[in-house]
Every structure is written in structure tokens, then in C-alpha cells.
Structure 1
Amino acid sequence: MRIEDLDIGDVVYAAHAITDDGSMPHGMAGDVLVETGARGVITMIGHVEEQPERRVFIVRFEDKELNLGSPIGCWPEDLSLERRHETVRIGLEFS
């Protein structure tokens, strides 16, 4: 299955950290809205008026308490069908 084939109600994951492009009410451009791997549900699908072939997915992602957040407009490349995690390296020293 491809992201473009998804429908309302389908579960998706953030393919990368999604940041505010300045279009979120009461937000600031550059703020991280969703972390990589966050689970969300598609609530609406639309398109760009000037480019009808360019789909926009409106997704509500879960927060750490599993509550759905505010709707966020996402491009297909912002979404994944599988959970992805950012790699974090932790330096450990043993004596």
C-alpha cells in the first residue's frame, strides 16, 4: 500500500519530525509539532488548489498520554505506514 492510497480513518506515523511552517494558529514557525514515529489518524484529505494532484492529509497525532492533538496538514512525504524511530546514541563508560 502507498501513502497516496490511504483514506480517512487510516493510521499513519510521522516519517520525520514535523515542524510548524508558520500556519498553525497560536504557533511559531519552526516549533516541533510532532516527533518522528508519532502515531496519528487521517481525519480529512484535500488537495492544493493550484495543484489538484497534490494531496494534503489532515492528521491528528497522539501525544505522550495518547490523546489526539490538533489537526495538522501533512504532505505524503511527511507520513509513513510504519513507525520509525530516531537513532539516539548514548555513550556509556564502564570501569
Structure 2
Amino acid sequence: MLIEPALPKFQWGQPVIAAVDLYNDGSHPDVAEDQLMIVAGGPGEIVQVGHHAEANLAVYMVDFGLAVIGCLEHEILPEGSALTEEAGT
């Protein structure tokens, strides 16, 4: 059975904010692993939209100014959104 790829919720060029604190997961070798990189609410812009085929998830490359970070949908919100306790869960 063929599963259709998940459609992305966000688009290239869209301004977003971090929904949660974003930490280095090891993908930024010049930054200590588990170091806080972007605080929740930090502004960014989507510079690439990709797809993780095995997990059937949209993956977003977000330029937060200090770093370009790969994010999942639950880790970002549209610009102007209010942060909530539930964001990212």
C-alpha cells in the first residue's frame, strides 16, 4: 500500500517563530551538543521545505539569523502566533 507524502503546513519564504526552545541535536558541529540555540519565540524564515520519507514528515530548514536549523512542524509557528504552554507537545 502506497502512503501519500504528508503535505507541508508551512511554505518556503514564510516567516515563523520557534514554538519551543531549540537545542543543538548534534547537527551543528561548531556548537556544543544540547546547547540552546534559539529561544522559543525567536523569529525565522523558512528557506527550504523537505520531506522525511521514512517517517512521512515535512522537514523545514529555518534561517533564524544566528543559524539555519532543521525543524519539524511542532517546533515552529506562523509569525504573529502566541506561544502557549502546549506549543511543541
TM-score (norm 2): 0.75
User: Residues 58 and 41 of structure 1: is their aligned pair in 2 closer, same or farther, counting only changes over 3 Å?
Assistant: same
Question: Map of 1:4-83 to 2, 5 A cutoff?
Answer: 4-51=8-55, 53-61=56-64, 68-81=65-78, 82-83=81-82
Q: Which 5+ residue runs of structure 2 have no aligned equivalent?
A: 1-7
Q: Kindly tell me the number of residue pairs found equivalent between the two proteins.
A: 76
Q: Which has the larger radius of gyration?
A: 1
CA displacement 1:57-78 (0-9 Å, x = unmatched): 00011xxxxxx22210001010
SS of residue paired to 2:67: strand
Q: Which amino acid aligns with 1:70?
A: A
TM-score (norm 1): 0.70
Taking the aligned partners of 1:12 and 1:75, their CA distance within structure 2 comes to 12
Taking the aligned partners of 1:85 and 1:39, their CA distance within structure 2 comes to 16
Question: What's the Cα RMSD here?
Answer: 1.8
Taking the aligned partners of 1:42 and 1:83, their CA distance within structure 2 comes to 18
**In the alignment, which residue of structure 2 is the partner of 1:90?**
none
Moved >4 Å (runs of 4+): none
Identity of aligned residues (%): 28
Would the aligned equivalents of 2:60 and 2:70 in 1 still touch at CA under 8 Å? yes
